[in-house]
Structure 1
């Protein structure tokens, strides 16, 4: 009797253990079950890498971000940093674009991944680039050419976005006739740096702060008119209460530390980002 009781207990334990195992590790769902597809779908997994390219005997260290869960080639967007250099803010924007389905390259316009720590140094770095336009264009073009050869990049055209100094760079790239589908500037300096403008058939979107004391309205108007004269479809969007640097959440701290007339504006940041994404979608996602 004891042997029979022990045997029955063992059977009960095995059945219970099997049921528990099934609860913890559910069997694979049927391929025809639509709910299983929803439950096993993965969102974006953004990974980054150092993306080196060379021109003029110098090496530049960009930051490439993409969704590695996506095996299909996707359109590319170049991100040009503020005058501080290729820092965490530019990398964050590249990550955001990658999560939304683009291959994003935050370019290095200073070389060697240099990042300024003081406004005086940042001013020196940015002025040196913009005062030698052929070299600036060569750096951007080298990044663009090498990016186009990446297996994750689709051949549907590219776009470029830029912040502050980077906004100036991308506006001037459009003015010089760089083959881009769209160019988007956030609080960029619209001062022309191009000696000889070229034809540009893409879209240009310029986001500027109405309270930005570092951007002259007449200079901005002149840049918009010059771009239109070269064939660009230009939109200038002004945010009435926004200061220079309105997209950067760290702008308030930088203003306090260095006494700069800049500041973050959450509403202007959200609105300008949404408008930029809509333009990228309409020009790159065919």
Structure 2
């Protein structure tokens, strides 16, 4: 049976004063459901991100595709995306400040059970949700796809509340297997409940069907992998269902 969903845009303001516009998708239900943040690739809050939010709603979750740049700015140009992303690194707190504002906004929606919250992120968005988890945010589950794993604020013992699932491409030239090993060391040192899945023959961007097109247009090493996409989505829903639907 197809689940009926509804969508809307939600304007909210981060503590740094940035005006942000999220995209909210939720099943049409009389009972509040678990909420999931969706954090975009460095391209911004584009149609791909909104699609993932709608899919989550069809699976019974209320999802908010967050806006990291303000005014829901999007681009298909890697240089512009890089510029916008780097602006979020200008101040150490920007990423967590804006992600926290999105999480608060999600939790405040009447359709959302604020006691059951998760977050997923793609590429730069993966870093966003990992840093949000590292900050001690009240999340039950965090899932990443070809995420940037390095951070200036490593996880501390007892701080990360979420169970983490990091999904990585074996052939990712932007985030190396050495980076994955360093991430694992960080998580083990902090006693974080985590799992890392490495997909064979998968590049950075493996979950996005537009990755090859973006790679060609921008001369960057991205690649779509249908098998890895499906496996990673299945793994995501297994974790979300286990942690958020109990």
Displacement of 1:132: 2.5
User: Contact between 2:205 and 2:222, CA under 8 Å: does it hold in 1?
Assistant: yes
Equivalent positions of 1:236-275 (< 5 A) are 236-275=196-235
2-structure distance, mates of 1:161, 1:130? 20
2:177 paired residue among 217, 234, 242: 217
2:93 paired residue among 86, 109, 134: 134
Gaps of 5+ in 2: none
Look up the SS of the partner of 2:172 in the other structure: coil
- Which fold has the larger relative contact order, with Cα–Cα distance below 8 Å and residues 6 or more apart in sequence? 2
Q: Give 1:20's aligned residue.
A: none
Equivalent positions of 1:2-151 (< 5 A) are 43-55=2-14, 56-68=16-28, 70-151=29-110
Displacement of 1:230: 2.6
2-structure distance, mates of 1:113, 1:274? 28
Larger mean Cα displacement after TM superposition, 248-257 or 225-234? 225-234
Gaps of 5+ in 1: 1-41
- Stretches (4+) displaced over 3 A: 195-198
- Give aligned pairs, total: 244
Look up the SS of the partner of 2:43 in the other structure: coil
User: Contact between 1:182 and 1:203, CA under 8 Å: does it hold in 2?
Assistant: yes
2-structure distance, mates of 1:231, 1:64? 33
Q: Deviation digits for residues 117-163 of structure 1, max 9, x if unmatched? A: 31111011112213423121111111111221111001332111000
2:129 paired residue among 170, 175, 183: 170
2-structure distance, mates of 1:197, 1:110? 28
Query: What is the TM-score normalised by the length of structure 1?
Result: 0.81
Q: Check 1:250–1:196 CA distance in 2 against 1; reply closer, same or farther (3 A cut).
A: closer
User: Contact between 2:155 and 2:190, CA under 8 Å: does it hold in 1?
Assistant: no
More helix per residue: 1 or 2? Answer: 1
Look up the SS of the partner of 1:133 in the other structure: coil
1:185 aligns with 2:151: no
Displacement of 1:197: 4.2
User: Contact between 1:133 and 1:194, CA under 8 Å: does it hold in 2?
Assistant: no
